[in-house]
Amino acid sequence: MPRPRGTVVRETVSLYEAKTKLSELVERAARGEEIVIAKSGKPRALLVPLGDVRPLRVPGRGRGQWRVKRSFDAPLPRHVLDDFDV
């Protein structure tokens, strides 16, 4: 995932502190900061802002909601073809 533009502050917090201040850390990450979460002094996780929050596409969700006419593959009319440079 690409990093957000702007200043990225990377701070290390303990796992205990992260549990007690999770809401605050999430808000800071949403503003563009990166926070390293450490357990026993060793980095274990990285809290970063989300770049793309669009939901994933589900194949087949629109099934039956639209129809393709039988003439979809028919040749184009001559007046339309004349507008193309061939």
- 5-61 pLDDT tens trace: 555 668 999 999 999 999 999 999 999 999 999 999 999 999 999 888 888 888 988
Does 69 score more than 60 pLDDT?
Answer: yes
User: What span, in angstroms and rounded, lies between the C-alpha atoms of 78 and 84?
Assistant: 10
Give the separation between CA 57 and CA 31, rounded to whole angstroms: 27
pTM beyond 0.75: no
Superfamily of domain 1-50: YefM-like domain (3.40.1620.10)
In this predicted structure, what is the pLDDT of residue 86?
Answer: 63
How far is 47 from 75, CA to CA, in rounded Å? 55
**pLDDT of 2 strictly over 60:** no
